[in-house]
Structure 1
Amino acid sequence: MYFFEWMLWWGTTLAEEGKDEVFGKDFMEENQAPLKAALEEEYPPLEWSVSDHPRSRGPVYAFNDTYLEMRCGSLEHYRGLITPLVLTLFLFGFGGAYGAINLLLNGPNHNGIADYLIGVIGVGGITAGFWYCFFKFKFYIPIRWELFTHRRLLIRFNRKTKQVHLHRPKYAGGVVTMPWDKIIPIHEGAGMRLVLAWMPHRTGQPFVTFAAVGKRAGTAQDLLDEWEFIRRYMEEGPKSVPQPRVRSKMPWPWYSLEPQFEGLWPILRHGDWKLWLGKLLMSPAFLILGAGHWVSQLLCWEPRWPKIIREAGQPGKPTPKLTTAEDYDPETCRRLYLNADLWVPKDHDPDAPAKEEESGSQWLP
């Protein structure tokens, strides 16, 4: 499910007049303090090791001397849950209205052809009205988070070009190319995925880019090991890390059960019988979620990289350009710059020396 990715892009491209309504003025003012702290925070160089046991828990879809490709996405374990809920609410509303008309027209004094025609017109009108509201008020958006969209989000680390490529739907920012040397790894703790971020004060662009990579972690060490695997691959090459298991992109049903159990094995391994019993009782729920996940996979399509990214790193082939705000349509570009204060402190000096210009303050009026 791509709710987090959609929400981030939607918030970043809000119209200026809607920003205060969504985020609130208090939030916008309070947001400035952590932004200033982020500008002053020092990040360890990419040459520094964070673990002695680099390993990837996957899923890995490609691993060679040129690039490493993995799955990303923040709420994969909830995929297949939203669509049944939305459709159920929709059908309940339609069914209730249809039932009301049925009771109204099937009384003792309502059996004529006129009543039949009124019923047909009423049901048809309600059906048309529901579909109108469905598209007018964009009730289809939650369904697009997990149906008729990309089968998975992908992240590709190209060690030859020192670039990272993200493959996302257009409603979540689309395909972007980010610099490897501006990456910020966030490995907070158990139950989370490894998060990679590109912040405006490092990239010089008026938007932030996040990628939640791989599986949820059972322990904090899992995240450090995952990041060390990626870091060594990019900095030292594929021979510096253990050969990962490369997975097929075929949507096999057992792959859809994995997200429900990500991060649970270390807990179960050290848990008592009560924990095991609780998980056993919850197993039908896990199976239902897994089935919804699999159906979602079947009703989506496999993402395909643009040709320039597929060929990046090969001899004689061009290097993809880094993504900028100007790569989007004019209106989206304008909104990205207007919303730069979500990520950049307002009172930064626009006449700062060149070494400080990457803070992004030059975007703001």
Structure 2
Amino acid sequence: MYFFEWMLWWGTTLAEERKDKVFGKDFMDESQESLKAALEEEQPPLDRPVSEHPHSRGPVYAFNDTYLEMRCGSLEHYRGLITPLVLVVLYATSIFPIWGIVGVVAGFIPSRTLFGALLGIGVFSTLTIAFWYCFFKFKFYIPIRWELFTHRRLLIRFNRKTKQVHLHRPKYAGGVVTMPWDKIIPIHEGAGTRLVLAWMPHRTGQPFVTFAAVGKRAGTAKELLDEWEFIRRYMEEGPESVPKPRVRSKIPWPWYSLEPQFEGLWPILRHGGWKLWLGKLLMSPAFLILGAGHWVSQLLCWEPRWPKVIREAGQPGKPTPEFTTAEDYDPETCRRLYLNADLWVPKDHDADAPAEEEESGSQWLP
């Protein structure tokens, strides 16, 4: 499910007049304080080890001397919640009227009940038309795009030859971007979460933030450190410095869809009592249903494909991709990214900017 990625991009590209209504003054004031703290926080250099046991829990889709490719996405374990509901609604609003019409035309419905059948068809058809009108009018299709008829997975590629990191996301979540390796900020705190990699404006010089939740959820904070150390050593020292990971096929096998439901649970279960085990056993039917929805979601999506310049990056004689900037987007999106820069940048970051520009973020305008 790509809710977090969509929400981040939607908030970043909001129209200026809607920003205060959506976020509110209190939220903006609190975020400004946290942004100032982030500016003062010193990031350890990339050549400093953080763990003695580099290890990737995957899933890894490619591992060679040029690049490392992994799955990313923040809410993968919730993927499958929307799919069953959508399929039931589509079935009810589309199939029932069609069955009724076919029954009348083919003569399957007796003549004495023809009026009732026609009335039922009319009611169902009206409801179907009303549903699809509201569906497109009020953009009810947006939640569907989080896990249906979209990318099968989000990908992150670490290219050690070009020292770049590439993110493959749908266009409604920011699209494909190329970020510098040396500006990366790892966030590896908290059990039950994924390793989060961030590129903040105060490091990249761009008016937007980029996040990537990499791999599986961790049961302990140490697993996050090991995951980051695996990536760090690969990029800084090469593939021979880390244990070779298991490279997974991109075929959507059904058992792969059960994994996200149990990510990070083993350390908890290992130290838990029989009541915890019993509770998880009673919840297993829900996990199976969610896993089935996850698998159907995978089948109804397509495999993402990198642009040619990224596929060839690092090969002899091939060009190096340009880093993504706000100007790479359409003019309106670019303008909104600059005007919403104060979501990620403290207002007083530019001492020479006039006060009215500090309030609007317009000092970021090109």
User: Structure 2: which amino acid aligns with 1:323?
Assistant: T
User: Structure 2: which amino acid aligns with 1:71?
Assistant: R
Aligned match of 1:11: 11
Aligned match of 2:82: 82
Aligned match of 1:344: 345
How far is 1:164 from its partner?
0.1
Superposition pairs of residues 309-320 of structure 1, within 5 angstroms: 309-320=310-321
2:335–2:365: 8 Å Cα contact kept in structure 1? no
Superposition pairs of residues 302-341 of structure 1, within 5 angstroms: 302-341=303-342
Is the alpha carbon distance of 1:94 and 1:27 closer, same or farther for their aligned partners in structure 2, counting shifts above 3 Å? farther
Aligned match of 1:249: 250
| 2:40 is the alignment partner of 1:47 | no
Report the secondary structure of 1:244's partner residue: coil
Moved more, 121-130 or 137-146: 121-130
Tell me, which stretches of 5 or more residues in structure 2 are unaligned? 96-111, 354-360
Aligned match of 1:239: 240
How far is 1:348 from its partner?
2.2
Aligned match of 1:37: 37
How far is 1:282 from its partner?
1.2
Alpha-carbon deviations, 1:21-53, whole Å to 9, x = none? 110122122221111111111100001100000
Aligned match of 2:106: none
TM-score (norm 2): 0.88
Is the alpha carbon distance of 1:86 and 1:20 closer, same or farther for their aligned partners in structure 2, counting shifts above 3 Å? farther
1:55–1:241: 8 Å Cα contact kept in structure 2? yes
Alpha-carbon deviations, 1:271-293, whole Å to 9, x = none? 22222222111111111111111
Is the alpha carbon distance of 1:52 and 1:136 closer, same or farther for their aligned partners in structure 2, counting shifts above 3 Å? same
Distance across 1 between alignment mates of 2:77 and 2:184:
25
Distance across 2 between alignment mates of 1:117 and 1:193:
54
Alpha-carbon deviations, 1:211-230, whole Å to 9, x = none? 00000001000000000000
Distance across 2 between alignment mates of 1:265 and 1:116:
55
Report the secondary structure of 1:55's partner residue: coil
Aligned match of 2:60: 60
Superposition pairs of residues 1-365 of structure 1, within 5 angstroms: 1-86=1-86, 120-351=121-352, 362-363=363-364
Distance across 1 between alignment mates of 2:114 and 2:255:
54
Distance across 1 between alignment mates of 2:116 and 2:70:
60
Distance across 1 between alignment mates of 2:113 and 2:269:
66
User: Structure 2: which amino acid aligns with 1:5?
Assistant: E
Alpha-carbon deviations, 1:179-200, whole Å to 9, x = none? 0000000011110000000000
1:150–1:303: 8 Å Cα contact kept in structure 2? yes
Distance across 2 between alignment mates of 1:140 and 1:53:
44
Moved more, 113-122 or 54-63: 113-122
Distance across 1 between alignment mates of 2:6 and 2:247:
28
2:93–2:128: 8 Å Cα contact kept in structure 1? no
User: Structure 1: which amino acid aligns with 2:4?
Assistant: F
Distance across 1 between alignment mates of 2:217 and 2:324:
28
Moved more, 264-273 or 55-64: 264-273
Report the secondary structure of 1:210's partner residue: strand
User: Structure 1: which amino acid aligns with 2:19?
Assistant: K
How far is 1:345 from its partner?
1.1
Distance across 1 between alignment mates of 2:93 and 2:27:
36
User: Structure 2: which amino acid aligns with 1:57?
Assistant: R
User: Structure 2: which amino acid aligns with 1:198?
Assistant: W
1:70–1:213: 8 Å Cα contact kept in structure 2? yes
Is the alpha carbon distance of 1:181 and 1:362 closer, same or farther for their aligned partners in structure 2, counting shifts above 3 Å? farther
* RMSD of aligned residue pairs (Cα, Å): 2.2
Tell me, which stretches of 5 or more residues in structure 1 are unaligned? 96-110, 353-359
Is the alpha carbon distance of 1:21 and 1:89 closer, same or farther for their aligned partners in structure 2, counting shifts above 3 Å? farther
2:155–2:169: 8 Å Cα contact kept in structure 1? yes
